[in-house]
Amino acid sequence: MTVEQRSLEASSTAPLPLRQAWLVLAAVFIADVMDVIDSTIANLAGPSIRADLGGSETTLQWVLTAYTAAFAIGLITSGRLGDLLGRRRLFLLGMAGFTLTSLACGLAPTVGFLITARVLQGLFGAVMIPQGFAMVKVVFPPHLLRKALIPFGPVMGLATVAGPIMAGWLLHLDLFGSQWRSIFLINVPIGVIAWLLAWRVLPHRTGEDSNARLDLGGVGLLTLSSALLIIPLIQGRELGWPLWTYLSMAGSVVALALFVGSERRSKHPVITPSLFTKRSFVVGLAITGAFYASLSGFQLALNLLLQLGEHWTPLHTSLTLIPWALGSAVAVALAGAVLTQRLGRATLHLGLGIAVIGLLALWWTVAATDLTSWTLAPSLLLIGFGTGLVFVPIFDFILGTATTEEVGTGAGMLNAVQQFSGAIGVAALGTVFFARAAHAHTKPFTHAGELVIVLAAVFFALTFTLVYLLPKHVQQPEA
């Protein structure tokens, strides 16, 4: 390589002027918020979708997991595709595809069509999201990169809570008679605006690695492992748990082990190997998985309890969730401004402890009182406040020792684990919910909701224990 070529390459990947860099971040933020909201917004609308399009109880689980599982699987792969095909090009392609498949979801004539469109929506989202992380890493100077990434944790956490509330309002407004379809159609104008912004501000050169290769074997094993786990978790109860469901789940473990082995041998691994030498990152993946699986499964159960068990409207249900959102917002502000720096790891313990107390209070409320928005408000406020204290610092603790070269990949990996864990939570706890409801003689959805609430509290308590394996304070990467 000549001196002129090296100079040109260096200038093509240099940080952008700060004004343009922040606009790039804005486009990436819009994409990420659209993704997270779409992973939860169908949660509240599930009963309305089923009432309109038909289908079995597992329909609700598939509408949710079709998106999140496809997104998580595609997310890990598409980072490499960005190096091969260009990050700007793939971000714009992913945003356009996400917008069009959102339109397809909104126009779906059958359940099968909707689930297929949700899979494609998740895959296009997966194409889009990691390119955004990679470009943020390039357009900001190293000393501002961490500052730029700090809001991702709390914003994604709040978007998780906001999705069902937004769905309730959209279903109530019934824009142009669209009913549940509006939760998907709303993405179309937002997606068009975000695409135009991205087309205008995204850099044309973003430091792609021309030597990158796609490990098709690793991708195949990871996809196989995921499918072998999720399909029986959702379909097993409805089919009576035949032998193949147990063999499939066992095969998932085998495929995952083969994937880990192939990653160690691969010259172009799917996941940056150096991240797995960092204790905080490895432990953080387990914490993220347990936390978001519990949260997603609990959200589904609460929505089903209120709409199917108590016969509340989507608007009534969404208004009831407002204390949860308020608690999360207050906790995010406190954790970001004060608590994390003063308390360190104890912030996570405080948040999870409060969330467990809130879940147990909710269990008592469901079991012992008549349910109203007011009787549910105190426990939901506690749950929201507790989980909000986790949203902010968790990314800092997990990525604290990641180098500048690793932080973008690590953040993308955490996003994938968050989404896939949400899919597992919906599949597993959703199955528990419907199984318990089928065997309850009186108030089936109430008893099912009580069981899932207790299980969520148990998983939060497990997460509380795992937090002890993180450092007491956020660490900085080694020089």
Please write the tens of the pLDDT for every residue from 402-449.
665 666 567 667 777 887 888 888 888 888 998 898 887 788 999 999
- pLDDT at position 460 over 90: yes
Does pLDDT of 240 surpass 80? yes
Residue entry with tokens 């902010």: 392
**How confident is the model at residue 2, as a pLDDT?**
39
d(CA 459, CA 285): 14
CA distances from 214 to 77, 132, 227, 429, 470 (A): 8, 19, 20, 34, 32
Instruction: Give residue 406's pLDDT.
Output: 63
Architecture field, domain 12-209:
Up-down Bundle (1.20)
- For residue 276, the SS3 value is helix
Residue 1 pLDDT > 60: no
Fold matches, 12-209 and 271-479 = yes
H/E stretch holding 81 reads: helix 58-85
With contact defined as beta carbons under 8 Å apart, do 163 and 43 qualify?
A: yes
CATH top-level class of 271-479? mainly alpha
Instruction: Tell which wins on pLDDT, 268 or 379.
Output: 379
For residue 39, what pLDDT band results from cuts at 50, 70 and 90?
Answer: confident
Q: How high is the pLDDT of residue 150?
A: 65
Average pLDDT, the chain: 82
pTM of the model as a whole? 0.79
353 in Cβ contact with 382 (< 8 Å): no
Per-residue confidence (pLDDT) for residue 430, from 0 to 100: 87
| Number of Cβ within a 10 Å radius of residue 148 | 18
- What pLDDT, on a 0 to 100 scale, did the predictor assign at position 100? 96
The 10 Å Cβ neighbour count of residue 257 is 12
C-alpha–C-alpha distance, residues 258 and 254, integer Å: 6
Residue boundaries of the structural domains of the chain: 12-209, 215-267, 271-479
Q: Is the pLDDT of residue 40 over 80?
A: no
- Backbone φ and ψ for 236, nearest 5 degrees, come out as -60, -45
> In percent, how much of the chain has pLDDT > 90?
25
Polymer length of the chain: 479
Task: Give the whole-angstrom CA distance, residue 302 versus residue 278.
Answer: 36
